[in-house]
Structure 1
Amino acid sequence: MIATGEDHRVTPAELFFDLVFVYAITQVTALMADDPSALRMLGGMVVLALLWWCWCCFAWLGNVVRADTGGLFSVLLAVMAVLMIVSLAVPEVYADGEGGLHVPLVFVLCYGAVRLLHLLSYWVSSPDDAALRSTLRRTALLSVAPPFVLLLAGSTLSGAAQVLVWLAAVAVDYVGIYVTGSSGWRVSSPGHFAERHGLIVMIALGESIIAMGFGMRGFPLSGPVLIASVAGLLLLAGLWRVYFRMVNEAAEHRLTALRDGARTALGRDVYTFLHLPLVAGIVLTSLGEKAALHHIADEHHYGLSEPLHGIVAWALPGGAGVFLLAAAAILLRVGRRPSPLLLVGGPALLAAGALVPLVPALAALLLLAAGVTVLVFAGGGPRERHGVVAA
């Protein structure tokens, strides 16, 4: 395996690897849309957190070892095959159908295989790094083995019990990263790390566009559907602008300025942890947009004056609210002052979910798209509106 340098960039092998996550994120949206309840939404976020961990593992590894070399590329192919199985399992992970394999167990075993391949790859790539190997041993004992046992136990359960046990597994895994420490982990190329995570945000936004298409699939193209589609795209464009004009450059700049442990800690906090709610916010928004497009397109069951109801009504503005709050948290962590509009807009959109059932679905989507557009353009960018809090 070939070590990377400060100027390392994302390789085509990593872009190929990310293709599996396009499908995986689509499957998470489908999982929640199939049974739009609060419990299923929580379950969908748990599955997303597990998938995110799989992706992050190899984003870190690809930052210190070239992913297009023979050894690591072979590992990536193996992981892609396993993650493809994981993605296929997602829709039935909480409602295993009759016949065939036990889907929750298949999901857990494949997840465990990905985590094991990651640790083994790091171990082989750094034979002389005693600090890293010590951290890998602690990670296996504290942040991989206990959550895997919980996931196995949860795979034998169903309903709320399964979701809560798996949620506990995610919590143990994420807390374990802080307990094991950052000794030995490193970010060799800030540019690669920032680009890698920017691409996964783009993948999530692309999945949202796909979800809108699925929402109106099978129904005739109508004027309201066209208007709703444009409004949905405008909403996603607003989220894109927040990330790539306010967040991405500021985070990369701060990461580049740091060295050693401080750089690793920032990479962990900003990219591994705070990018998860960014992606989760996009997935929740895509769930709301998919439901809205279906509602507007299905003229036989819904009228244009009929609003969205249930958890998907909250997801439409709530997902964007989660995204804005995560963006604000990232800016704070890198020493920037977030725009007050982000700090106000995030909670406002979370609260707006209560109003969505009071207005027609098309009107709700149009108002949300217009509101986010005004907020984003009024908020400006980091160079224009954000003072530096810390050096």
Structure 2
Amino acid sequence: MPTGRDRSRMIATEGGHRVTPAELFFDLVFVYAITQVTALMAADPSALRLVGAMVVLALLWWCWCCFAWLGNVVRADSGAMFAVLVAVMAVVLVVSLAVPEVYDDLPGGLYAPLVFVLCYGAVRILHLVTYWISSPGDQALHATLRRTALLSVAPPFALLLVGSSLTGVAQVLVWLGAVAIDYFGIYLTGSSGWRVSSPGHFAERHGLIVIIALGESIVAIGVGVADLPISTPVLAATAAGVLVVAGLWRLYFRQISESAEHRLTELDGDDRTRLARDAYTFLHLPLVAGIVLTALGMKKVLHQVADSEHYDLSEPLHGVVAWALAGGVGIFLLAAAAILLRTGGRRSPVLLLGGLGCLCAGLVVVLIPALLALALLAAAVTAMVVLHSRRAGTAEAGPA
């Protein structure tokens, strides 16, 4: 821990660095941000809104990732760094407040899409400036930061500004283009200059954001039955929802994250940086997005099951929400399979087939009662966790 005069300056991390309470405090605003993304989709469950919400999630993810990388090389509990984190928390909280109005601005206040974009730009600038100051003598890092500003910050920010003046499909498409340029720009800047000082810290930070997303699924179950009476079907749906969340937790923390962290620890230099970028920064986004989509589906299931005055127990989910329930799990499983492939070269037929099956399951979900669909999804996730665990155990054991 920093002491004395060290508390007022930035302090480099060491190889055994772990997540600090300051970073857990920082993540609190992203708990709210992810909740807002789910609410954004639930308010208008259309295909366009789902795409738009995923664009917003991708931008929020980038804000979080920037400081996950920075916190790996500079202690978040040092005075200067903690001051930056608090400032970013305030800005991201404003971003989160703007999320529900980002595609449908309400009259009488500030123009929410522009507020969202300006605050997002402020976070990206704070990140680059803080990274620059944290390593004054690192010329390779400074060169990378300049390329990042030119390729992955300025052009997307300009597109986001343009998109904020548009509405409907045009706004979503322009913002989607900004996200694509942003992510591709980071890939083009290369791995030189970036550092992953502590693999354990980096893996733990991403595990915590997965926990936050899973927590949103639990919250969605509660929100779905808010102000509605508890009944036996509600209890059954709640149990099924918890089984789905528990299955995803088990799959990630027992069968994905451990092997990814082990591989990250084995590498060093630019090889470690590239693996961290691909497996964590890029591939954890669809992992989290899948959880958020499933949360939307579970929220709607619980609402329909609880609201007996407007819905019958035999009524299925409708529209994109029916796809989101199982499709979100499918995206999660495919992302998990991609992480395993990138980190260890392991192919998982269970995750691949299960993921593809869940993506297509919306065709069935719209035909069966919502409660039954959730129960079948819970059973399928449990079965996939067991099968994948057995196959992984057999592969590790090798031939007798």
- Give yes or no for TM over 0.5: yes
For 1:29 and 1:298, the matched residues in 2 are separated by: 20
Query: What is the Cα deviation at residue 94 of structure 1?
Result: 0.3
2:324 is equivalent to residue 311 of structure 1: no
Query: What is the Cα deviation at residue 318 of structure 1?
Result: 0.3
**Aligned-partner residue type, residue 240 of structure 1:** W
40, 62, 86: which is aligned to 1:77?
Answer: 86
Name the SS of the counterpart of 2:256 in structure 1.
Answer: helix
For 2:294 and 2:326, the matched residues in 1 are separated by: 7
* Equivalent in the alignment of 2:371: 362
335, 340, 346: which is aligned to 2:355?
Answer: 346
* Equivalent in the alignment of 1:230: 239
The structure-2 alpha-carbon separation of the partners of 1:327 and 1:381, relative to structure 1 and needing over 3 Å to count, comes to farther
Moved more, 178-187 or 120-129: 178-187
For 1:179 and 1:349, the matched residues in 2 are separated by: 33
2:248 is equivalent to residue 260 of structure 1: no
**Aligned-partner residue type, residue 277 of structure 1:** P
Residues 325-367 of structure 1: CA deviation (Å, up to 9, x unaligned): 0000000001242432111100001111110011000000001
* Equivalent in the alignment of 2:161: 152
**Aligned-partner residue type, residue 254 of structure 1:** R
Gaps of 5+ in 1: none
Contact 1:324 1:342 in 2 (8 A): yes
For 1:66 and 1:52, the matched residues in 2 are separated by: 21
For 2:145 and 2:225, the matched residues in 1 are separated by: 47
Query: What is the Cα deviation at residue 387 of structure 1?
Result: 5.6
Residues 217-260 of structure 1: CA deviation (Å, up to 9, x unaligned): 11101110010001000001111111011110000000000010
* Equivalent in the alignment of 2:299: 290
**Aligned-partner residue type, residue 64 of structure 2:** W
* Equivalent in the alignment of 1:332: 341
2:117 is equivalent to residue 108 of structure 1: yes
Query: What is the Cα deviation at residue 85 of structure 1?
Result: 0.3
TM-score by length of 2: 0.96
2:150 is equivalent to residue 141 of structure 1: yes
Query: What is the Cα deviation at residue 181 of structure 1?
Result: 1.4
For 1:90 and 1:324, the matched residues in 2 are separated by: 27
2:220 is equivalent to residue 215 of structure 1: no
For 1:246 and 1:20, the matched residues in 2 are separated by: 28
2:223 is equivalent to residue 205 of structure 1: no
2:193 is equivalent to residue 184 of structure 1: yes
**Aligned-partner residue type, residue 207 of structure 2:** G
Name the SS of the counterpart of 2:205 in structure 1.
Answer: helix
* Equivalent in the alignment of 2:250: 241
**Aligned-partner residue type, residue 294 of structure 1:** H
For 1:386 and 1:264, the matched residues in 2 are separated by: 27
Query: What is the Cα deviation at residue 385 of structure 1?
Result: 4.1
The structure-2 alpha-carbon separation of the partners of 1:150 and 1:377, relative to structure 1 and needing over 3 Å to count, comes to same
TM-score by length of 1: 0.98
State the number of aligned residues.
389
2:33 is equivalent to residue 19 of structure 1: no
For 2:201 and 2:272, the matched residues in 1 are separated by: 13
* Equivalent in the alignment of 2:288: 279
Query: What is the Cα deviation at residue 383 of structure 1?
Result: 5.2
For 1:57 and 1:234, the matched residues in 2 are separated by: 32
The structure-2 alpha-carbon separation of the partners of 1:381 and 1:14, relative to structure 1 and needing over 3 Å to count, comes to farther
For 2:93 and 2:390, the matched residues in 1 are separated by: 38
Identity %: 72
For 1:359 and 1:382, the matched residues in 2 are separated by: 31
For 2:224 and 2:253, the matched residues in 1 are separated by: 27
**Aligned-partner residue type, residue 277 of structure 2:** R
Contact 2:18 2:200 in 1 (8 A): yes
For 1:194 and 1:338, the matched residues in 2 are separated by: 21
Name the SS of the counterpart of 1:355 in structure 2.
Answer: helix
Contact 1:247 1:382 in 2 (8 A): no
**Aligned-partner residue type, residue 247 of structure 2:** G
* Equivalent in the alignment of 1:5: 14
28, 36, 39: which is aligned to 2:48?
Answer: 39
**Aligned-partner residue type, residue 79 of structure 2:** G
For 1:216 and 1:335, the matched residues in 2 are separated by: 42
Query: What is the Cα deviation at residue 54 of structure 1?
Result: 0.2
Gaps of 5+ in 2: 1-9
Runs of 4+ deviating beyond 3 Å? 385-388
Contact 1:336 1:386 in 2 (8 A): no
Contact 2:260 2:344 in 1 (8 A): no
CA RMSD of superposed structures (Å): 1.3
**Aligned-partner residue type, residue 157 of structure 1:** L
